[in-house]
Amino acid sequence: MSVDGFVAGLGQDEEHPLGVGASALHEWIFETRTGRGFIGGEGGETGVDDDLVAAGFDGIGATIMGRNMFGPVRGDWATMPWLGWWGPNPPFHHRVFVLTNFGRDPIEMEGGTTFHFVTEGPEAALTLAREAAGDLDIRLGGGAATVRQFLDLGLIDRMHIAVVPVLLGSGERIFDGAGPSGYTCTSYVGTPRVAHYHFAPQSA
């Protein structure tokens, strides 16, 4: 998230997967060893940032994401045979449930990733993800509208928000107005590139 609250820019397309100007929000990830490994690179820094990137994938049995995170294609899938941003071997290696208004057959990728397309809404996607994950956790990948839907339904148990010291000026926000209530910050750690906040529901 940028300092002014945006998690993606405007104008998402194949050239600008995160929207115009928003790649700066993720540059810190690819300075880490784990982040470079996602794109087939070597080296990278260890330390707090790397530990937290890796933790986002440890113990995860399923992922939920919105259609915008899966790709820039709009409307009927027949307009473009899109298979995701991540190439033939996406970094998930488990079942991924994509929220969409347009149905599509599942797509099996290399490495154990299968994309499923859910048209019945976030609660239906969560039910399917729970069945797929078993005793493991479910990761809510984004984008902004998808995270807002789950927040509004009270379905998020933990949040890791990485605030990057850049100003986007416009784009997509997770938090509009006062933001979600009922959550408290459970930990904070800052590094030269990003400030990491963890939130959980307040105890009753």
Domain of 38, in residue numbers: 6-201
What's this model's pTM, rounded to 2 decimal places? 0.90
Q: What is the percent of the chain where pLDDT is above 70? A: 98
Strands 159-163 and 195-201: antiparallel
Which position has the higher pLDDT, 142 or 63?
63
Q: What does the alpha-carbon distance between residue 100 and residue 80 come to, in Å, rounded to a whole number?
A: 15
DSSP state, residue 35: H
Based on the structure, what is the number of domains in the chain? 1
**Does residue 68 lie in a domain region?**
yes
Strands 114-118 and 95-99: parallel
Tens of pLDDT along 138-164? Answer: 999 888 889 999 988 889 999 999 999
Q: Which residues contact 107 (CB under 8 A, 6 or more apart)?
A: 83, 84, 114, 115
Tens of pLDDT along 82-120? Answer: 888 888 999 899 999 999 999 999 999 999 999 999 999
**Does residue 1 lie in a domain region?**
no
- What pLDDT band is residue 31 in, cutting at 50, 70 and 90? very high
Q: What angle do CA 161, 57, 149 make, to 5 degrees?
A: 50
Q: Which residues contact 165 (CB under 8 A, 6 or more apart)?
A: 3, 193, 194, 195
Are residues 64 and 156 in contact, defined by beta-carbon separation less than 8 angstroms?
no
Instruction: Please give the pLDDT value at position 179.
Output: 59
Check whether 178 has a pLDDT greater than 60: no
CATH code, domain carrying 195: 3.40.430.10
